[in-house]
Amino acid sequence: MSKHNREERIARLSAASEQKKQDALAATEKAIRKLQKEGKLITFKAVAREAQVSTSYLYKYPELKEKIGKLREEQRRSGKRVMPVASDNSKNRIISHLKRRIKDLEQEITQLRQANESLAGRAFELEESENTVERFRKHNEKLNAQIERLAAENSELKDKLARHNLTPKKKVTSIKTKTKQKRPYIPVPDSVKEELNNLGIKINSTLRTLIRANPEEEVLEAIEALKYALNHQDVPNAGGWLNKAIKNRWKKPEKPLQPTQHIQRKQEEELVFPEGFEEWYLQAIDSNFIVNESPAELPKNIKGELLVKVNRPTASGLPYSQMSWVEAREIMNLESK
C-alpha cells in the first residue's frame, strides 16, 4: 500500500472516529437534558443507559465525566430531584380537575349555608316556643292564685251563712267544679244503717259511696255474708271485708248440711281437693305452720276456699288465725324466703 493511500485511510478513520465521538457527545447531552426534565437521578449508569453507550465510554471523555459528576453532586447536596416540567396537556388536566373540585366545594358550601340557615330558623322557633311556654306558665300561676283566692272567699261566705243560719239566694260554686253537674243525693237506707250499727262498723266515704251505688238488697246480702264470715273465721277489718263483699256481690253460703247428711254425702262421692292443696297441706303440717286437722273436715269461706288454722295468735286471744289455704300458702312462701 502506498504512502498516500495509507494516509488517506488514516484520515478517514480519524474523521469517522471524530464523528462517532460527536454523535456520542450529542446523545449524552440529550440524555442528560431528558433526565433533568423528568426529574430523575443523574448517574453514569442512568446517562449511559439513556444515551445507549457504555459507562466506560463516558469515562473516556473528561468533560462528560466532570459534567455528570457535577450534576450528581448538586442533586446529592440539594436532597431532591429536579422536578420535570409539566406539559401543556398535563397542565390542562390539572386545571380541569381543580375547576371541578372548586365547583364541588362551592356546591357543598351552598348546602352547608342552607343547612345553617335552617338550623338558625329552628333555633329561633324553639326559643319562641320556650318564651310562649314561659308566658303560659306565668298566666297559669296567676289563674291558680285567682282560683285559690275565690275558693277562700267562697269558704268564707259559706261560714258566714252558716253562722247566721241563712240560705243564699244564689249558690256560690267553686270555679273548678262550676261546669260539673252535681249528682243527686242518695241517703244510706235505714236498714243498712241499723245493721252496720249493730256490727260496730262506721260508715266512711268509701263505704258510703259503695252503698249508694248498689241496690239495698245486694248491700244487705253482703252484710249477711260478713256476719257469716265473722262467725266462722277471723276477720281483722270488718269494714274492709264489707267493701270487698259489696264490690264482688258476695252472698252468705247456703245452709250447711247436717252432720249425718255430710257424712253420707262424702261416702257417696269422692272428695276432690284444689290443685296443689294436698302437697302444700302436708308440708304445712310437717313444718308446724298450721294446725293438724283432717282435710275432709275443713270448712270453707263464702268463696268456696278451704279454711285452715295458722299457728299465729290473734288480737282477740285465739291461739291460731283462721284463713283460706291460698292466703296461708302465700304467707308461708314469704316467710320461707
pLDDT digits (tens, 9 = 90+) for 51-63: 888 888 888 888 8
Helices assigned H by DSSP within the chain: 3-38, 44-51, 55-60, 62-78, 88-163, 190-199, 205-213, 216-232, 238-248, 259-268, 277-286, 325-336
pLDDT given for residue 179 in this prediction: 47
Last residue of a domain, one of 45, 78, 111: 78
pLDDT tops 50 at residue 267: no
Residue 271 located in a structural domain? yes
pLDDT at 177 over 50: no
3-state secondary structure 49-78: HHHCCCHHHHHHCHHHHHHHHHHHHHHHHH
- Same domain, yes or no: 272 and 236: no
pLDDT score, position 83 = 47
Is residue 87 assigned to a domain? no
Assign 184 a pLDDT band (cuts: 50, 70, 90): low
Same-domain pairing of 316 and 280: yes
Residues 164 and 221 in one domain: no
Asked if 177 and 244 sit in the same domain, the reply is no
**Could you tell me if residue 253 is inside a domain?**
no
What pLDDT shows up at residue 327?
A: 94
Amino acid identity, position 225: A
Give the per-residue pLDDT at 288: 93
pLDDT, residue 71, reads: 87
In a shared domain, residues 235 and 273? no
Look at residue 125 and tell me if it is in a domain: yes
Whether 220 and 196 map to the same domain: the answer is yes
Range of the domain at 132: 94-182
Q: Are residues 209 and 265 in the same domain?
A: no
Q: Stretch 29-39: mean pLDDT, rounded? A: 87
pLDDT of residue 116 exceeding 50, the answer is yes
Task: List pLDDT tens digits, range 224-261.
Answer: 988 888 888 778 888 888 988 898 888 887 655 455 44
Average pLDDT over residues 121-134: 78
Check whether 310 has a pLDDT greater than 90. Answer: yes
Of 248, 273, 297, which marks where a domain is finished? Answer: 248
Average pLDDT over residues 90-117: 85
Mean predicted lDDT score pLDDT of the chain = 80
The answer to whether residue 32 scores a pLDDT higher than 60 is: yes
Joined together, the cell numbers standing for residue 293 give: 286437722
Domain assignment of residue 83, yes or no = no
* Residue 197 and residue 125 share a domain: no
Summarize the confidence of residues 177-193 as an average pLDDT.
Answer: 70
Please report whether residue 88 resides in a domain.
Answer: no
The answer to whether the CB of 220 falls within 8 A of the CB of 227 is no
| Structural domain includes residue 86 | no
Answering whether pTM is above 0.75, one says: no
pLDDT at residue 186 is higher than 50: yes
| Residues 178 and 194 grouped into a single domain | no
Counting residues of the chain whose pLDDT is more than 90, the rounded percentage is: 18
153, 159, 163, 168: CA torsion to nearest 10 = 70
Q: Last residue of a domain, which of 182, 201, 228?
A: 182
Number of domains within the chain = 4
> Could you tell me if residue 115 is inside a domain?
yes
The pLDDT assigned to 215 comes to 93
According to the model, what pLDDT value does residue 229 have?
A: 82
Q: Which residues of 221-241 are buried (b: 16+ CB within 10 A; e: fewer)?
A: bbbbbbebbeebbbbeebbeb
Residue 269 has pLDDT above 50, yes or no: no
Does residue 7 sit in the same domain as residue 30?
Answer: yes
Long-range contacts of 195-203 (CB under 8 A, 24+ apart): 195/220, 195/223, 196/223, 199/223, 199/226, 199/227, 199/230, 199/238, 200/238, 201/238, 201/239, 201/242, 202/239
**Do 118 and 178 belong together in one domain?**
yes
Do 242 and 317 lie in one domain? The reply is: no
